[in-house]
Chains A and B, each alone.
Chain A
Amino acid sequence: MSVRLVLTAMATAARRNTSDRSGVLVNAVFYVVVASVLSALWRAAAEANGGEIAGYTMVAITWYALAAEAATVSLNMRTIELICDDIASGAVESELLRPAPVLGVRISMAVGAALPRLALCVAVAAVLGPIVGGAPPSTAGVALAMPALVLAVTCNLVAQHAVASMAFWARDVRAIWFLYQKIVFVLGGMILPLQVLPDDLERAAMVLPFMTMAYVPSRLASGHVEPELLLLQLAWLAVLLVAAHAAFGAGERRLQVVGG
Chain B
Amino acid sequence: MTETVIATRSLSKSFAARGRTVEAVRDISFEVERGERLAYIGPNGAGKSTSIKILTGILHPTSGDASVLGLVPWRDRRRLTMRIGTLFGQRSQLWFELTPRQSFRMLAAVYRMDADIAARRVAELGELLDATELFDVPARTHSLGQRMRCELAACLLHGPEIVFLDEPTIGLDLLAKQRFRELLVHLNESAGITIFLTSHDVADIEHVARRAIVINHGAVIHDADVASMRRTLLSRKLIEVTFADEVPAPMLSGVDVIAHTGTTLELAVDTAVRSVRDVLDDVLGERRVIDITVLDPPLEAVIAEIYQS
Interface residues of A (CB under 8 A from B): 2, 4-5, 8-9, 12, 15-16, 19-20, 90-91, 93-94, 96-100, 105, 255-259
Contact = CB atoms under 8 A, between A and B. Distances in A.
17 contacts: A2-B109, A5-B109, A5-B112, A8-B109, A9-B106, A12-B105, A16-B95, A16-B97, A19-B97, A93-B58, A94-B91, A96-B57, A96-B58, A97-B58, A99-B82, A259-B15, A259-B24
Interface in B84-110: 86, 88, 91, 95, 97-98, 102-103, 105-107, 109-110
Contacts of B34: none
Do most interface residues of chain B lie in helix, strand or loop, or is the interface mixed?
mixed
A260 to B, nearest CB: 9
A180 B103 CA distance: 32
B43 interface: no
B53 A2 contact: no
A31 to B, nearest CB: 21
Interface of B: 13, 15-16, 24, 50, 53, 56-60, 74, 77-79, 81-82, 86, 88, 91, 95, 97-98, 102-103, 105-107, 109-112, 138
B81 A98 contact: yes
Chain A CB within 10 Å, residue with most, of B50, B79, B86, B95: B95
A8 B105 contact: yes
Do most interface residues of chain A lie in helix, strand or loop, or is the interface mixed?
helix
A112 B86 CA distance: 26
A258 B74 CA distance: 13
Contacts of B77: 96
Nearest to A93: B58
A259 B59 contact: yes
A259 B50 contact: yes
Contact of A255 (B58, B88, B107, B112): B58
Given A97-B81, A98-B81, A256-B60, 16 more contacts: A5-B110, A8-B106, A9-B106, A12-B95, A12-B103, A12-B105, A19-B98, A19-B138, A91-B91, A94-B91, A96-B77, A99-B111, A105-B110, A256-B74, A259-B13, A259-B59
Contacts of A16: 95, 97-98
A97 B98 contact: no
A260 B186 CA distance: 34
A220 B95 CA distance: 37
A98 B110 contact: yes
Given A97-B86, A99-B81, A256-B60, A9 B109 contact: yes
B98 A90 contact: no
A12 B98 contact: yes
A259 B110 CA distance: 24
